Amino acid sequence: MEDEFAKLIRRINPPRIVVDNGACEHATFIQVDSVYKHGILLELVQLLSDMNLNVTKAYVSTDAGWFMDVFYVTDDHGNKIADEGTLVYIEETLETNVHYLNSMMNSVDSTSSEDRTLIELTGRDRPGLLSELSAVLAVMGCDVVNAEMWTHNGRAAAVIDVVDHSTRDAIVDPKRVSVIKELLFNVMKGDSDVKTPTVRTSVSTSGETHRGRRLHQILFADRDFERPNNVEFETSQRPHVSVLECSDRDYTVVTIRCSDRPKLLFDTVCCLTDMEYVVFHGTVITGRMEAYQEYYIRHVDGFPISSEAEQQRVLECLEAAIERRTTEGLELEVITDDRLGLLSDITRIFRENGLCIKRAEICSGNGGKAKHSYFVTDVGGNSVDPRTVDLIQKEIGQGCLKVKGNSFLCPKLPKETTRSFLFGNLFKRPSFQSFKLIKSCS
């Protein structure tokens, strides 16, 4: 009866989406009003992220079973969305998906539309790891359709979609799948690994979990938030996270200051959601390459964080969630004709020239073309020598490889304040009313 009542409430209170290009001079304004359901904030942020929209400012409020989110978004070049067709597409996509998410709440990877074999791996990171994995897949006749690999704190995780090269279908033969898993497990294990690596395979469809969220979940389960004792970290490059009590309002206040980058909001909201926390109020502001996020949260059971140990765990997990996708190294983009073994050949060239892949994103099969993005350092974690890049360009092809930038030049962040200031007047009046007063984006 409770489920039927909830469905009735959603039917008589459909989501309302507003996309306005005139409310702000520098960004496109998006407002979403809907019945609240746990996890819907993450799903909404995921949709914006998948449409390559950068959130420059956001306000979140949840109250009495209803939520209202306000986002100011730009394109990859930092401009508001000028094309009318794109604005209509954004509004229709959000409206359709929020309706669906309210009824289903499945975290869907919108890029997946065909059956393929999904491979998930985690284990110790080392130079040449992706090269060895892709070589195994090439030998076994597996075409890599999409793949993403992250490394963090000496650990590596990858989510790879493959199809059979000859049939272009998912690989379902149990014996062949077993051999592939065994070979990949041996590569992940290497000479030694204090933790047993994991290799999981399944047939993926359009209903599978979002790839970015799965990578967060895999590394979280691998406890990559535990920093190795023998590794020193540059504190100026680490995000500043604080978790404080707000006892007078029965919330826990989480504040984050770090370098701004695409998908940052998704990563932090994903972490909180998967740790089963609810964001009741939140503010996100970016500017001068910095990002400030502030959340008033409770656990799904309705209580704030009750112990220092739990506060420390949330702090460490948020730091890890931010760092996993931080653009460490030189970004190299390869666009070329797709073929069997392409990933193996490119990563082999990187390995032979002394490059270490920190993060990778692979997309193949789009009109016969493949687009690969890699963030690389030398084996010592230092900047890549330009002469090395020249050698790689000659081997791969001058017109195929593009240098996109060096992200080692990150601004140093000022010390975080111990007192929250963005929500100083939040509880003096209804938050929904305060959102209606927003007229411009500074």
Whole-number percent of the chain with pLDDT over 90 = 64
Residues 245 and 361 in one domain: no
Residue 12: its pLDDT value, please?
Answer: 53
Residue 277 sits in the same domain as residue 367: no
Full residue range of the structural domain in which residue 283 is found: 2-106+233-323+414-435
* Residue given tokens 């493949």 in the structure block: 370
* 142 plus 257 within the same structural domain: no
Number of C-beta neighbours around residue 22 at 10 A: 8
User: Would you give the distance in Å from CA 332 to the centre of its chain?
Assistant: 19
The pLDDT, as a whole number, for residue 230 is 52
More confident call, 235 vs 308: 308
11 and 77 inside one domain: yes
As a whole number of angstroms, the distance between CA 195 and CA 155 comes to 10
Alpha carbon distances (Å) from 405 to 52, 346, 375, 409, 439: 19, 19, 10, 10, 35
Same domain, yes or no: 57 and 134 = no
The confidence score (pLDDT) of residue 229 equals: 63
Whether residues 159 and 307 fall in one domain: no
Per-residue model confidence as pLDDT tens digits over 375-400: 999 998 899 999 999 999 999 987 89
- pLDDT at res. 411: 40
Work out the mean pLDDT of the chain and round it to a whole number: 84
In this structure, is residue 101 part of a structural domain?
yes
* Residue 308 belongs to a domain: yes
Domain CATH number, residue 377: 3.30.70.260
What confidence tens digit (pLDDT) does each residue in 156-176 have?
Answer: 999 999 999 999 899 989 999
Would you say residue 263 lies in a domain? yes
Number of domains comprising the chain:
2
Position 285 pLDDT exceeds 80: yes
> Is 222 part of any domain?
no
Tell me, yes or no, whether 227 lies in a domain: no
The residue among 39 and 248 whose pLDDT is bigger is 39
The pLDDT, as a whole number, for residue 51 is 93
**Is residue 168 in a domain?**
yes
Residue 226 lies in a domain: no
Does any domain span residue 6? Answer: yes
Please check whether residues 350 and 296 belong to one and the same domain: no
Tokens of 74: 């730009």
* CA 63 – CA 164 distance, rounded (Å): 49
Lowest mean pLDDT among 147-156, 272-281, 404-413: 404-413
How much is the pLDDT for 196? 85
Pair 142, 175 in one domain? yes
Same-domain status, 395 and 421? no
Residue 49 clears pLDDT 90, i.e. is over it: yes
Whether residue 55 sits in one domain with residue 25: yes
Q: Is the pLDDT of residue 109 over 90?
A: no
Do 339 and 423 belong to one domain? Answer: no
Q: Among the listed ranges 235-244, 246-255, 284-293, which one has the minimum average pLDDT value?
A: 235-244
Nearest to 261 by CA among 328, 308, 313: 328
Q: pLDDT digits over 292-338, tens only?
A: 999 999 999 999 998 999 999 999 999 999 999 986 789 999 999 99
| pLDDT of 438 above 50 | no
| Residues 317, 333 share a domain | no
Say what the pTM is: 0.86
